[in-house]
Amino acid sequence: MKDGHGDPPLHPQGERQAVAVGERLKNEAFAALYVTKLTRTHQTAAPLAAHLGLTPIENPDLHEVHLGDWDGGLYRIKAAEGDPIYAHVREIQDWAPIPGAETRDAFFTRVRKGLMDIARAHRDQRIAVFVHGGVIGAALAVASGAEPFSFLGAANGSISRLVIHDERMSVRGFNDTQHLSHL
């Protein structure tokens, strides 16, 4: 556990996906790579970082949503069991009903802040950011104005693209997995 989050290393399939991401992006010009505090994002970024000779930078605002009492894998168990609180979370598209969980608004505000801080630090530069599924969903929902949970469910190792110019965010791609088709 790390700050209430489960922090397991990548599964061997995740390691293969990380290599595929690195291969897919190794010829792109990135000014910086960003990761969260959790091991999985560091490991996913590592192959690309090695190709590019870059050291990933941690951004604390981009860590996964805090699920309170349901952190550490319990959220998925409750979902599989059809827990009524999980059903309510999905219905209202907010994690607030989970005891101790971060609210959707707080999470979305934090993710937006993290992305905007990166954009201001790297104006007119291409950046790769390695994050978790909830962060991807939040970022794309904020950028597109879609319903809050519209983009949840991005595949592990997928690539989504945002363009940030000044205070404006635009979605340019979601859940691209063509580099993973051979796995």
Last residue of a domain, one of 48, 81, 101: 101
How far apart (Å, rounded) are the C-alpha atoms in residues 85 and 92? 11
Task: Clarify whether residues 80 and 140 are in a common domain.
Answer: no
Task: Clarify whether residues 31 and 17 are in a common domain.
Answer: yes
5 found inside a domain: no
Note down the domain range covering 74. Answer: 66-101
Task: Clarify whether residues 164 and 116 are in a common domain.
Answer: yes
According to the model, what pLDDT value does residue 1 have?
Answer: 57
**At 5, phi and psi to the nearest 5?**
-95, 145
pLDDT tens readout for residues 26-36 = 999 999 999 99
According to the model, what pLDDT value does residue 141 have?
Answer: 98
pLDDT tens readout for residues 53-62 = 999 999 999 9
- Span 73-96, average pLDDT: 96
The beta strand positions in the chain, using DSSP E, are 32-35, 57-58, 127-129, 159-165, 168-176
Evaluate whether 40 touches 8 at the Cβ level (below 8 Å).
yes
Task: Clarify whether residues 159 and 90 are in a common domain.
Answer: no
Task: Clarify whether residues 47 and 74 are in a common domain.
Answer: no
Tell me the angle at which helices 104-121 and 133-144 cross, rounded to the nearest 10 degrees: 80
